[in-house]
Each structure stands twice: as structure tokens, then as C-alpha cells.
Structure 1
Amino acid sequence: MQNKDACTSIMVGKKASLDGANYIARNEDRVKAIEPKQFLVKPAVKERHETYVSPYNKVTIALPEEGMRYTSTPTLDQTAGPNEEDGINEANVAASFTESVYANDRVLAYDPYVKNGLAEDSLCTLVLPYIHSAREGVEYTGKLIAELGSAERNGMQFADADDIWYMEVVTGHQWVAVRIPDDCYAVTPNQVAIEDIDFDDPDNYMWADGIQEFVKEHQLNPDHDRWDFRHIFGTSTQKDRHYNTPRTWFAQRYLSPNASLGQRPEDSEMPFIRKAEFKIANEDIQYVLKSHFNETPYDPMGDAPERKTYRAISLSRTAQSHILQMRNLNKYKTSIHWIELGVPAFNPYVPFFANADDTDESYRNVPEKMNLESAFWLNEALAEVVESHYQEFMEKDEDYQKELNEWARRKIAQVDKEAASLEGQALIDYLTEQNHEIASHYNERTKALFFELLTEGCELSKMSFKMDPNL
């Protein structure tokens, strides 16, 4: 099993969102403080005859002869596998792999993980190029699990312009999936999240063949009158109550301020799916992914005694964060892959149109060591400077993020007008060109703030002293 830290995932249905788009989003958190990431477009393939072998655990499978183009965010160091993590393919299907979850020892006793089975490092590579809908994403992954088994416990998000599906694989072969209702949102923080399964409703639930028999045979259901996947397969431990449930509490506190009244950070039974109390904007999703228990005693950037009690959503160890905006515009060809590099609390989300055939050099070429021409390293450097003088620099940093969000909305609206009259390769070429312009604007604005704060930081040194002007 790979040595990962954790992630936080958010899903927002099209009737719950402000713009009518489906959204899936996640912070990809890692154990390493620095894990360089690239943003790439992987080309479509035809007439391929290759076998995939994972560098991480040697899972081996023949690749399909044809695969679609897709965006991805692979790890620079691929000795532990590609870890492409997330993307949008040319059929306008998005996926995010994975939200690490934890199964209890009772279920693992009867269905342990498969050492050479599917793991996070390979999932995006082996699934996203081959699926044509969110539902097919679950079906395709389920077939791979049946064939290869799972090496880990993973939650996966799939979305298209019509549907969002969330799938949890918790043992070597057992899994379920639920369709997120259009007027709802869901948040999951490294816990088994899916609750009651209606086996009479295959339009909204999917499951591994034989899972009911598995549970019955091994007497695994602790409830008298329900089939709650979280209760049967999940955990409810002290670690959950300090590491996981507080993140759900904070997200629901923001997105469902009325329904979540009375919830506490350590509550173990907070609902996975909630109806939205207001239309959720892209900026609201950003706020949650950037959050660190803001305006509560649990904020690690504050000075309250409780500031280190719970694990926050935004971490210094976030490798990258993404928001996949599945828009129902221009025959579904202008969906947006939002990328955040650095620390979510301090860095902006950058919008890239997914229907492109290249990414900007600053995102594509990532050196192993710091270089400010690389978007990854530039954002990491800015985050480090802001955090080092948080009280002095946070207001300017927030203004910079707000300014770029405003610019992004205007830019996207301008591009949409032009893109409406384009088709085929002309549309792809135009969106690729616009992505380069977007990257350039964000990079230049980030450099400007970075150098401004770096200069101001020289005046904040603890080694300074009031100098006699006559010296």
C-alpha cells in the first residue's frame, strides 16, 4: 500500500450549483512536503498493442487498442507509478482518483487487499481514456476490480454534464457507488462515506456482484433494519474523530449553515449527501478546499490553544488541488479543469479548457529543483513566503486570489462567446491558445506578488534593529 497522507473530496450537482454545471473536486494530499506535479494532455491512441505494468506494485494488464485524449496531473517522479490522479477526457467525462478511505478489520478478514491489484497510481491511466459517461466510469472500474482485485481502499469520483457518481472500493473486491442527486452536494474526508444502499434502485446505486451475500455469509451487518455501507465496511475511531470528521463538519457548516446546526467536529454520523441551502458557486468550492477551520478556535494559523486539535482541509502537503467543472455548453466541449498548485489556502485556482491538445510549458515542464519559470515551483515559493509572514501578507494574498477569480470569470465569458461559433480542430486550437494566455497571465501576476512580498519581507526580519541614521 502506498504511503499517502489523505485527501478531501467535494461533489456538487448541477441543480445545486450556481451555473448549472456538475462539479467534482479534490485536494490531493501527500506525506511529502514537496511532490512536484505536472499538468499534461495525454494524446489519443489507436492500434496500440501494449501491456501496462505498474512501477509501484507490478499490476499487469493489456491496454485497449484505442484510448481517448485526456488531461491529467501526474507526479514528476514516477518510480511509484504515474499517479495521474484526475482529468477530463475528450468525451467530456471527468474523474478524480482517489480519496483514501479505511475499512474495518472485520471485512478485511474475509476479503483482504490484493498485493498486485489496482492502486491509486494506476487508476486514472487505466480508466479515464476509455469511459464515455460517469456511470460507465463506475462500471469499467468495477470490471477491473473483479479481474485484478484492489490493492487499496479508494473513493473515486466520476462526472459528465448529466451525472455525478461516487464509488468506494474498500476491500480486495467489494465496492458500492451512488449517484449524487442533482440538487445535492457531498463531502468526504478519508472515511467510508456512502450510507444506505437501495438494492431495488439500480439507476442510483451500483455494487459489486455478490456483496449482499458476502455480508450475510460473514455476519457483517451491525444494524437490525438497514444496509448501511458505512456501518458495515467503514471505521469510527478516535483517529476518524480528529483526522476526518472535523473536515466534514467545517464544509457542511459553510454549505449547509441551517441543516448543520448542532453538529460537532467529532460527530460520527454526519450525512454524506446534503441538499444545498444556496446555489454553490465555484468560489464556494474553492473556499472549502482552501479552508483551515477559518474563524474557529481550530485554525492552525491562529493562536487559540485548540489550533492543533483537528486536521484541516488545506495543508502545506497538498501536492495539487483540482476542480473539474462539467459544463453543458457548446455541445459539452468547453468544460474546465481548474488547477491549484502550492498550498490551496495561499494559491489561486487556474482555469484551463479541457478540450485542448497541449498544456503550457510552465505546467508541462517541471524541473526537480526550484525554478520560478515552472508554475509548480512558483506557486510553492509564493505559499512559503505568505505563510512565513501570515499576518502581514495574508490580506494581499487574498486580494490577489480574488482579483484572479474576477479575471478568470471575465476571460471564460469572452472565450465562450468566441467558442460558440467554432467546431472540431478549430475549437481545439482556439481553446489551446487561450489556455496558454491564461497560464501566462497567472504566472506573471504570481511573480509580481511573489517579488513584492519577498521585498517587504526583508523589512520584517527578526535580525533587524533600529539603526542610528547618522551611522
Structure 2
Amino acid sequence: MQNKDACTSIMVGKKASLDGANYIARNEDRVKAIEPKRFLVKSAVKGRHETYVSPYNKVTVALPEEGMHYTSTPTLDQTAGPNEEDGINEANVAASFTESVYANDRVLAYDPYVKNGLAEDSLCTLVLPYIHSAREGVEYTGKLIAELGSAEGNGMQFADADDIWYMEVVTGHQWVAVRIPDDCYAVTPNQVAIEDIDFDDPDNYMWTDGIQEFVEEHQLNPDHDRWDFRHIFGTSTQKDRHYNTPRTWFAQRYLSPNASLGQRPEDSEMPFIRKAEFKIANEDIQYVLKSHFNETPYDPMGDAPERKTYRAISLSRTAQSHILQVRDLNKYKTSIHWIELGVPAFNPYVPFFANANDTDESYRNVPEKMNLESAFWLNEALAEVVESHYQEFMEKDEDYQKELNEWARRKIAQVDKEAASLEGQALTDYLTGQNHEIASHYNKRTKALFFELLTEGCELSKMSFKMDPNL
């Protein structure tokens, strides 16, 4: 069992968002502090006759002859599998795959994980190029699980311009999925999140064949009068209350300030899906993913005794974070894959138009060792400098992120206006060129701040000594 992702996911429906887009987003947190990531465009394929074999656990799958173009964020080191994680395909379907979730020992006793089953290293590669809607994403993944079994527990987000679906695969073969209502949002932090399943509403719920019979046969439902997936399959442990539930608490505290009054970080029964109390902007999603329990005693960057009590949302070991903004193509021509490299608290989200031929060299080519021409390493370096003198540098860093968010909004509006008259390859070529301009602008601005702070840091050394100028 791999499960090396320890992530936080957010979904925002189109009537809950400020701009009417569907959003799915996630911090991809890893075991290692440094795990270089690339941002790629994978080309469409036709007439292929290949078999996929996972380098991680040898799961073997005959690949379809045709597959669509899609964006992805694979790990540089491919020895443990591609780990492409997330992306948007040419059918305007977005997916984010590997929110690790954990089942309890009761259910695993009767349906253990399949060692050579589907694992997180392969999910994006085996699903995203072949789905044409968010619902089909659930159906397609469900068929793979039925055929191959699952090697671990994973939560998966699928979105198109109309729908968002969240799917949880929790044992070797058992899973459910729920459609996120258009006027709601949902947050999940490495814990089985889906609650009551309405088996009379297949338009809004999906499930593996035979799951009710499985639960009944093995006497697994602890409730008298409900079928709560979280209660049946999930966990509620001390680790959950220090590692997982506080992240939901903080996100809902920000996004639902009135409805969440009275909730505490260790509450085990916080709702998965909530009504939005205000229209949620891209910047609000960023705020949550960047947060480390800001303005609470639990902020690890603070000095309160409680600062190390709970696991924060933004971590030093976040390999990358993404916000997939799925827009109506009739209005905008393309959706946007926002990428954050480095530590989310300290680094900006960079918008890239999904309908592109390739990605910028600074995102595509990532050396194994630090090199400031690589966007991944540049952002990691900036984060290290900011954290090293947090109190002195954080204000400048926040101003830099705010400046780039303002610039991004203006740039996207300009590109949308120009793209409105373009079609086909001309549109793709134009958007590809704009992506290169965006990467160049962000890299240039990031280098400028990095060198500015590095220079200022020379005056902040603990090895300094103030001398009498007369000596």
C-alpha cells in the first residue's frame, strides 16, 4: 500500500463560486520535504496497441487505442510510477485523484486491499485521457476497480462545466460517489468524508454493485436508522482529530463563518458538504490551501503553546498545489489549470490555459538538483528564504502574491477577449504562447523577490555583532 499523499481537497460548485465556474483543488502533500514535480501537456494518441505496467506495484492494464490530450503534474522520479495526479483533458473534464483516505479494520477484514490493484501512481494516467464528463470519471474508475481492485484508499474529484463528483474508494472493491450540489462546497482532509447515501437517487449518488449487501452480510452498519458511509467505512481516532479534522474546521470556519459557529478542531461530525455563505472566489480557495491556521493559537508559525497541536493545511512538504477552474467553453474557450509549486503559504498560483500544445521549459524540464531556471526549484528556494525570516519577510511575500493575483486576473480577461475570435489550432497556438508569457512573468517576478530577500537576509544573521564605529 502506497498512500504517500496526505492532501487537502476543496470542491466549489458553479453557483457557489464568484465567476460561475466549477472548481476542484488540492494540496499534494508528500512524505519527503522535496519531491520535484513537472507540469506537462500529454498529447492525444490514436491507433495505440500498448499495455501499461505500473513501476510501483506492477498493475497491468491494456490501454485503449485512443486517448485525449490532457495536462498533468507528474513526479520527476518515475521509479515509483508516473504519479500524474491531476489535470484537464480536451473534453474539458478536470480530475484530481489522490486524496488518501483510510478505512477501518472491520471493513478491511472482509475486503482487504489488492496488492497489485489500482494505486495512486496510476490513477490519472489510466483515467483522465478517456473520460468525457465528470460522471463518466466515476463510472470509468469504478469499472477499473471492479476489474483490478484497489491497492489503497483514495478520494477522487471529477469536474466538468456542469457537475462535480467526489468518489471515495476505501477498500479493495467498495466505493461510493456523490455529486456536489451547485450551490455548495466541500472540504476533505485524508479522512472518509461522504456521509449518508440515498440509494433511491442515482442522479446524485453512485456506488459499487453489492455494497448494501456487503454491509448487511458482515453486520458493518453501526447506526440504527441511516446508511452513513463515513460511519460504516471510515475511522474516528485520536490521529484523525489531530491530523485531519482540524483542517476541515479551519476551512469551514472561513467559508461558513455562521454555520460553523461552535465547531471545534477535534469535532468528528462536521458535515462534508456545506452551503456557501458568500460567493467563493479563486482567491478564497487559495487562502484555504495556503493557510496554516492563521490567526489562531494553532499556527505553527506563531509562538502560542498550542502551535504544534494540529497538522496544518499548507506544509513544507507540499509537492505542488493545484486549482482546476472548469469554465463553460461556449463563453471562455478554455479552462484554467492553476499551479502552485513550493510551499503554498509562500508561493503564488500560476494560471495556465489547458488548451495548449506544451508547457513552458521552466515547468517541463526539472533537474534533480536545485537550479533557479526551474520553476519548481525557484519556488522552493523562495519559500525557504521567506520561512527562515518569517516575521521580517512575510509582508513582502504577501504583497508579491497579491500583486501576481491582480496581474493574473487582468491577463486572463485580456486573453479571453482575444481568444473569442479564434478557433482550432490557431486558438491552441495562441493560448500556448500566452502560457509561455505567463510563466516568464511569474518567474521573473519570483527571482526579483528571491534575490531581494536573500540580500536583506544578510543583515539578519545571528552571527552579526554591532561594533562601536570609533574602534
TM-score range, shorter chain: over 0.9
Residues 346 and 397, structure 2, Cα contact 8 Å, conserved in 1: yes
CA deviation vs aligned residue, 1:211-241 (integer Å, no higher than 9, x gap): 0000000000000100000000000000000
Deviations 1:221-264 (A, max 9, x none): 00010000000000000000000000000000000000000000
Deviation at 1:293, TM superposition (A): 0.3
Partner Cα separation in structure 2 for residue 423 and residue 203 of structure 1: 34
SS of equivalent to 1:57: coil
Question: 1:467 Cα deviation (Å)?
Answer: 2.6
Q: 1:10 touches 1:187 (CA, 8 Å); kept in 2? A: yes
8 Å CA contact 1:71, 1:354 repeated in 2: yes
Give 1:416's aligned residue: 416
Q: CA deviation at 1:469?
A: 3.0
Per-residue deviation, residues 129-164 of structure 1 (Å, max 9, x unmatched): 000000000000000000000000000000000000
Distance (whole Å) between structure 2 residues aligned to residue 105 and residue 359 of structure 1: 44
* Paired residue secondary structure (1:247): helix
Question: Which position in structure 2 is the counterpart of 1:338?
Answer: 338
Deviation at 1:31, TM superposition (A): 0.6
8 Å contact from structure 2 (residues 5, 98) kept in 1: no
Q: Residues 318 and 343 of structure 2 are in contact (CA less than 8 Å); yes or no, is this contact kept in structure 1?
A: yes
The residue that corresponds to 1:19 in the other structure is 19
Change (3 A) 1:119 1:3: closer
Which residue number corresponds to residue 306 of structure 1? 306
Q: Distance in 2 between matches of 1:436 and 1:106?
A: 51
Q: Deviations over 1:339-376 (max 9, x none)?
A: 00000000000000001010000000000000000000
Higher alpha-carbon deviation: 100-109 or 325-334: 325-334
Following TM superposition, the consecutive aligned residue runs of length 4 or more in structure 1 with deviations greater than 2 angstroms are: 329-333, 467-471
CA deviation digits over 1:48-79, x for unaligned, max 9? 00000000000001000000000000000010
Deviations 1:151-189 (A, max 9, x none): 000000000000000000000000000000000000000
| Conserved 8 A contact 2:23-2:159 | yes
Deviations 1:318-341 (A, max 9, x none): 000000000114466310000000
**What displacement does 1:4 show?**
1.1
Q: CA deviation at 1:3?
A: 5.3
The alpha carbon displacement at 1:470 in A equals: 4.6
8 Å CA contact 1:330, 1:419 repeated in 2: no
In the alignment, is the contact (CA less than 8 A) between 1:127 and 1:137 conserved in 2? yes
Contact 2:3 2:120 in 1 (8 A): no
- Is the Cα contact below 8 Å between 2:333 and 2:420 reproduced in 1? no
Equivalent residues of 1:11, 1:186 under 8 A apart: yes
Q: CA deviation at 1:2?
A: 1.4
Mapped contact 1:186–1:272 kept (Cα < 8 A): yes
| Equivalent pair of 1:192/1:234 in contact (CA under 8 Å) | yes
Partner residue of 1:428?
Answer: 428
Are positions 1:446 and 2:441 aligned together? Answer: no
Measure the CA separation in 1 of the matches of 2:331 and 2:312: 38
Q: CA separation in 1, counterparts of 2:329 and 2:278?
A: 23
CA contact (8 A) 1:90 1:355 kept: yes
The 8 Å contact of residues 220 and 232 in structure 1, kept in 2 or not, is answered as yes
Q: Distance in 1 between matches of 2:217 and 2:174?
A: 14
Distance (Å, rounded) in 1 between the aligned partners of 2:137 and 2:470: 73
1: CA distance, partners of 2:181 / 2:3? 33
Mapped contact 2:332–2:416 kept (Cα < 8 A): no
Q: Please tell me whether the aligned partners of residues 70 and 128 of structure 1 are also in contact (alpha carbons under 8 angstroms).
A: yes
1:379-430 CA-partner distances (Å, limit 9, x unpaired):
0000000000000000000000000000000000000000011111111000
Q: Does the 8 Å CA contact 1:117/1:150 hold for their aligned counterparts?
A: yes
Equivalent runs, 1:204-215 vs 2, <5 Å: 204-215=204-215
Match of 2:201 in 1: 201
Kept in 2, the 8 Å contact 1:3–1:31? The answer is no
Residues 330 and 420 in structure 1, CA contact (< 8 A), matched pair in contact too = no
Q: Is the 8 A contact 2:5 2:99 kept in 1?
A: no
- Tell whether the 8 Å contact from 2:3 to 2:153 is kept in structure 1 after alignment: no
Q: CA deviation at 1:12?
A: 0.0
Q: Secondary structure at the match of 2:425?
A: helix
CA distance in 2, matches of 1:69, 1:357: 9
Higher deviation after alignment, 459-468 or 125-134? 459-468
- Kept in 1, the 8 Å contact 2:256–2:277? The answer is yes
Q: Distance in 1 between matches of 2:102 and 2:260?
A: 24
Give, in whole Å, the separation in 1 of the partners of 2:32 and 2:333: 36
Task: Please report how far the alpha carbon of residue 5 of structure 1 lies from its aligned counterpart in structure 2 after TM superposition.
Answer: 4.7
- CA shift digits 1:250-287 (9 cap, x unpaired): 00000000000000000000000000000000000000
Alpha-carbon distance in 1 for matches of 2:177, 2:470: 74
Q: Whole-Å Cα distance in 2 between the matches of residues 448 and 312 of structure 1?
A: 29
- CA displacement, residues 98-148 of structure 1 (integer Å, 9 cap, x when unaligned): 100010000000000000000000000000000000000000000000000
**CA–CA distance in structure 1, aligned partners of residues 344 and 456 of structure 2:** 22
| 8 A Cα contact 1:150 1:169, kept in partner | yes
> How much has 1:40 moved relative to structure 2?
0.1
How many pairs are equivalent? 471
* Structure 1 CA distance for aligned equivalents of residues 3 and 224 of structure 2: 37
Match of 2:160 in 1: 160
Structure 1 position 468, deviation (Å) = 3.5
Q: Show structure 1 runs of 5+ residues with no match.
A: none
The verdict on how the C-alpha distance between 1:74 and 1:15 changes in structure 2, with shifts beyond 3 A counting, is: same
> By how many angstroms is 1:297 displaced?
0.1
8 A contact 1:84–1:121 mirrored in 2: yes
Distance 2:447 2:330 in 1: 34
CA distance in 2, matches of 1:447, 1:327: 31
Q: Judge conservation of contact 1:92–1:333 (CA < 8 Å) in 2.
A: no
State the secondary structure of the residue aligned to 2:122. helix
- TM-score, normalised to structure 1, is 0.99
1:161 touches 1:332 (CA, 8 Å); kept in 2?
Answer: no
